[in-house]
Amino acid sequence: MCGIVGYVGYRDCTEVLVDALSKLEYRGYDSAGIAVFENEEIKVAKSKGRLADLTAKMEKEGMLHGTSGIGHTRWATHGEPSDRNSHPHGGERVTIVHNGIIENYKSIKDFLLGVGRGFKSDTDTEVIAQLLDYYYDGDPVHTISKVIREIEGSYALGIVFEDFPDTVFAIRRESPLIVGIGENESFIASDVPAILKYTKNYYLLEHDEIAVLSKYSTKIYDLHYKQITKELKTADWDMDAAEKCGFEHFMLKEIFEQPTSIKTTITPRIVDGLPNLEECGITPDILNSFNNIHVVACGTAMHAGVVGKYVIEKLARVPVNVDIASEFRYRAPLVTDKDLVIIISQSGETADSLAAMRLAKKLGAKTLAIVNAKGSSIAREADMLIYTHAGPEIAVASTKAYMVQIAVMYLFAFEIALAKGMIDENECRRLTSLLQKTPEMIENILESKSETQHIASSLIASDSLLYIGRGLDYALSMEGSLKLKEISYIHSESYAAGELKHGTISLISDGTPVIAVATQSELFDKTISNIKEVKARGAKVIIVCRENYEPDSDVADFKFGLPDFDDLLMPMLAVVPLQLIAYYTSVLKGNDVDKPRNLAKSVTVE
């Protein structure tokens, strides 16, 4: 939800800010803007729409020239997407960019209106700019500390003061922010990929730490103006991680990165052929100590939890409850100090997931975070942590992050099943080695991508479709359905195949597409019967099943065949055609695949 950047150094600042913002556009793309010190004066350029609209505007009206400034890409919360609501926002002497939400903005705005201040936008952000300007006493750090004590909510702020040219100030609470350190240059950014082109070294800013960036030095203070020494971190990604590298879209690149992401995630967690999560703080004793497991997450990450539930319950016989974080946090969940709460999140910043984790801790439960973004809030606050090593996921539609989330759920399930004595070491080894084979099998499936293009071309004229399956296939179809709807804008629902006849089957009419996932041997015949029920009512059926099954014409119109594999691990293979079908449907419809409408990658508002 919004990306912010800042730069101080020797390069052309506009170029750096625009380039860095291009790596953060996944966080929001309703408008973009920059503020640059030009001859010691703050000059602003901003525009509704994408970053490309901002650069087109600057090319027409004049580029900003300087070597320091701040920038923003917006996902609108307060005030419609428009030029006037675009960041940066400024008072007379202070200009800011903001990622987050100011909860008490109304009372501050009333106060400022009462003392004669005027507002130029409908945003909550402008109240911070105006308050900074109102309290400004010639000392930026002192002024920032004073203002911060009055605002409630979440923020990552980049701030420039007219009196302090070539200096950028920054502060954060809840919303992420890093400070990049190069040679004779420094950066701020909401996420590491924005600065990778220039430096891999960065500081993780903690809550309410104030960073002061100038060309030759960067200082960090607490709210009492005490200077803080911090550990300099080094990103382990290279620049390619944030580039498309010849792929048409980030989503396609990320789908193709899945085999590598799985290997990087599971290999360090397998010792002597058995899962070993000790480096993440998870031991057999700890695993044995829980009565119940709750998995709490949002969207795709929650769907990974549903796969985890099926696998953990089957193998380890421990009850697993999967919850949507925004529901969990407000419904007095039945969680005790004997329970484990697993939070799954790609970004590690999802507001509802973070709040759910804090609630779980308050209720005495142990928390385990499965997170992709290093140093994110969820990663930092959890009791135990398993990082997924997917690298940066830029496309808004999550693919490789889901894949590694389920890979970790499998490892976890194998280990807890072994710890509880529900499977023996041989079976655990067998399952673990099957998991290790999945990258190669996925590589083979990716070679059949043209078949999914063909299936996608049969879907683009549809208004609505259904995904159906039983057991793990149902768990997976939830993700297939979300993927398709979020980027193709075609309505779709996932349904347990056996439940259709209790109402939903009335939606089927001549030509209604149904994507049926049928990979679970024990349930196969039952799923085929359900498929026949929709086919008999006119559905156009696309079946995702094992290669060796040849559907009759009363079952399916198209088949996507998967290699034969253990039922338990089939979701890791079957998700790939579902991702590709969604991707190509979006491409064929001419949609903006990586930046679907109304969405943003990191959902830091509830």
Among 175, 265, 398, 585, binds ligand M6R (CB under 6 A): 398
Angular region, 292: left φ>0, alpha ψ -120 to 50, beta rest: beta
Shortest Å, Cβ 382 to ligand M6R: 13
Q: Which is nearer to ligand M6R, 258 or 345 (CB)?
A: 345
Shortest Å, Cβ 189 to ligand M6R: 17
**Binding range to ligand M6R, per CB under 6 A, among 326-334, 393-401, 558-566, 576-584:** 393-401
Shortest Å, Cβ 327 to ligand M6R: 14
Shortest Å, Cβ 380 to ligand M6R: 15
**What are the Cα distances from residue 603, in Å, to 75, 76, 305, 566?**
10, 12, 18, 35
Among 185, 257, 339, 486, binds ligand M6R (CB under 6 A): 486
Q: Which is nearer to ligand M6R, 68 or 376 (CB)?
A: 376
Q: Which is nearer to ligand M6R, 125 or 300 (CB)?
A: 300
- On whether the CB atoms of residues 349 and 602 are closer than 8 A, the answer is yes
Neighbours of 429 (CB within 10 A): 18
- On whether the CB atoms of residues 123 and 100 are closer than 8 A, the answer is no
**Binding range to ligand M6R, per CB under 6 A, among 160-168, 395-403, 490-498, 581-589:** 395-403
Shortest Å, Cβ 517 to ligand M6R: 18
Q: Which is nearer to ligand M6R, 87 or 483 (CB)?
A: 483
Q: Give the 3-state secondary structure of residue 561.
A: strand
427 CB burial (10 A radius; 0-12, 13-18, 19+):
middle
Binding mask 575-604 for ligand M6R (x = CB under 6 A): ---------------------------xx-
477 binds ligand M6R (CB under 6 A): no
Binding to ligand M6R in span 319-348, by CB under 6 A? 345-347
- Measured CA to CA, the distance from residue 276 to residue 274 in angstroms comes to 6
388 binds ligand M6R (CB under 6 A): no
Among 130, 276, 353, 477, binds ligand M6R (CB under 6 A): 353
- On whether the CB atoms of residues 145 and 184 are closer than 8 A, the answer is no
Shortest Å, Cβ 399 to ligand M6R: 8
Q: Which helix (H) or strand (E) holds 573?
A: helix 570-588
| Amino acid (one-letter) located at 226 | K
332 CB burial (10 A radius; 0-12, 13-18, 19+):
exposed
Q: How far is CA 98 from the centre of its chain?
A: 19
Q: Which is nearer to ligand M6R, 54 or 397 (CB)?
A: 397
Is 449 annotated as catalytic? no
DSSP H helices in 267-374: 284-288, 299-316, 325-328, 351-362
Shortest Å, Cβ 559 to ligand M6R: 26
397 binds ligand M6R (CB under 6 A): yes
CA angle 4, 147, 186 (to 5 degrees): 35
Q: Which of 57, 200, 559, 601 is catalytic?
A: 601
Angular region, 246: left φ>0, alpha ψ -120 to 50, beta rest: left
403 binds ligand M6R (CB under 6 A): no
- On whether the CB atoms of residues 57 and 47 are closer than 8 A, the answer is yes
Is 280 annotated as catalytic? no
118 CB burial (10 A radius; 0-12, 13-18, 19+):
exposed
Binding to ligand M6R in span 260-319, by CB under 6 A? 298-301
Q: Which of 2, 13, 280, 545 is catalytic?
A: 2
CB-based closest residue to ligand M6R: 299
Shortest Å, Cβ 237 to ligand M6R: 17
396 binds ligand M6R (CB under 6 A): yes
- On whether the CB atoms of residues 371 and 352 are closer than 8 A, the answer is no
DSSP H helices in 213-280: 250-256, 258-266
Question: How many residues sit close enough to ligand M6R to count as binding (CB under 6 A)?
Answer: 16
Catalytic residues: 2, 601
Interface ranges with ligand M6R (CB under 6 A): 298-301, 345-347, 350, 353, 396-398, 482, 486, 602-603
